Amino acid sequence: MNLSRIIKTPLLRLLAAVMALSVALPSMAQTQSEDLHEALVVTLRNGSTDIYFLSERPEVVFNGAVCRIESSELSADYQMAEVEKTEFKLEKRGGISDVEASGFGIDLTDPTKAVVSGMEPGSWVRLYSIDGSVVASVNAGGDGQAVIELEALSPAVYIILTQSNKTFKLYKK
């Protein structure tokens, strides 16, 4: 069978062009959007935000006034009265690098502590459990750093919230 003869027919040329375009478009879209992924974003009244990436196929279950959202990366129970809004939007994975670029940063190289830097001296940092309870509260020193001790914490997901409304997710194993 002669391929050059088959490709010359208009229908097959159109099909070949569509196939080539379908291969090129996803890679073009990926370079334009960089690391943006579709996500369910839950914003609580206390200002903290949880992000569930749709690629993780989060499961949402309502039981009265409580909403449970569970994915392979994060799971939490939300009192509906504490939820300010939920929305679907494009989000970047690994938001800590974005925060570091804006002057804030978190150092987790020592597994016994989290060091939050780039803060106003004297401003507070709070560590919340996933149910919204305050686990620890510390103030930044004169160097703009706050140290949160992690050694006594049980394995779980925690949220670090700064007075300037920056949030970090902390996964303690």
Count of domains observed in the chain? 2
Q: What is the per-residue pLDDT for 140?
A: 93
Residue predicted with more confidence, 16 or 120:
120
Which CATH number belongs to the domain containing residue 132 in this structure?
A: 2.60.40.10
- HEC sequence for 91-148: EECCCHHHHHHCCCEEECCCCCEEEEECCCCCCEEEEEECCCCEEEEEECCCCCCEEE
Q: Provide the whole-model pTM.
A: 0.44
Q: In DSSP terms, which residues pair with 52 in a beta bridge?
A: 40
Residue 55 lies in a domain: yes
Residue 6 lies in a domain: no
Which CATH number belongs to the domain containing residue 69 in this structure?
A: 2.30.30
Residue 109 lies in a domain: yes
Residue 14 lies in a domain: no
59, 92, 125: which is the final residue of a domain?
92
Q: What is the per-residue pLDDT for 99?
A: 44
Tokens of 39: 């996500």
